Amino acid sequence: MNRKKITIILLIIVAALTAAYFIFFGVSLPSFMKKPAIGPKGVASFGFEEPDALKKWEEKIFKGRVIYSINKSKNNSYLNAYSKGAASGIVNWLKFNPREKPMVRWKWKVIKFPAKIAGVSAGSGWLEKEDYAARFYIIFPKFPFFRLQCLEYIWSENLPLNTVITNQSFGNLKLIVAESGTKKIGQWISVERNVYEDFKRAFGSEPSEAGAIAIMTNANNSDSSAEAQYDEIEVGYAKS
């Protein structure tokens, strides 16, 4: 095979991988202009008090559409995610350096866990074959795009807290159990994570600049339903 053909093949591969990145994470130029509010401590802060708060997020549909909506209680507004056999997420593009400001925090509440699938273990696909009621992502874009890395924090019913799983189909996606068990179902749980330390433990190297966060609730693999709520997201602040 001559050099010209090799170059063409390489260009096709890069184009395909670039397209795959756009498919997976739904990048579009306007999303980079959606500026999150500056947090009281960090680079960005996200609440859901404003009726149009979801316009700051970009939806990516994998299989069916999860219903993301703003719900109001007596004292607060929050994001509700309901999946009926669906898998879709919402992404917000931002930048922070976890080597300087490594901390992130959020609140989540599981209303309903998806059904379990017999004989299926976590980390067996891009969207794992085991569904999770609550997921929170930190995405580290790179070029070429197939080099991107991702931390995915999950609420697992049975895996021990702080378990790290490598996705079998995409080694640069690491799942970390940030909450475990079913006893706290229906309760708001506050989570604070050191992204720098989690990245080093998961990947064995230091992180580059983070470029996005994402949220997802899914129940597509089990063809069941799941529901979770999210609130008070703070991204990129110094460790106290």
Task: Residue 239: name the closest of 209, 200, 194, 203 by CA.
Answer: 194
Q: At residue 47, what is the residue type? A: G
Task: Residue 54: name the closest of 101, 84, 88, 22 by CA.
Answer: 88
Q: What are phi and psi of 41, to 5 degrees?
A: -120, -30
Give the per-residue pLDDT at 216: 97
pTM exceeds cut of 0.85: no
H helical segments located in 73-209: 195-203
- As to burial, measured by CB atoms within 10 angstroms (0-12 exposed, 13-18 middle, 19+ buried), residue 74 is exposed
Q: What domains, with CATH codes, occur in the chain?
A: 29-237 (2.60.120)
Give the three-state DSSP class for 88: strand
Give the per-residue pLDDT at 15: 47
Give the per-residue pLDDT at 120: 52
d(CA 135, CA 214): 8
Rg of the chain in Å (alpha carbons): 18
Q: At residue 147, what is the residue type? A: R
Q: What are phi and psi of 223, to 5 degrees?
A: 50, 45
d(CA 67, CA 27): 20
Give the per-residue pLDDT at 29: 36
Q: What are phi and psi of 203, to 5 degrees?
A: -105, -15
State the Cα torsion 80-86-87-92 to the nearest 10°: -40
Give the per-residue pLDDT at 31: 43
The ranges of the chain with pLDDT < 50 are 6-33, 123-124, 126
d(CA 198, CA 113): 25
Structure confidence by residue, pLDDT tens digits, 116-173 = 876 555 544 545 678 999 999 999 998 777 789 999 999 999 999 999 999 877 889 9
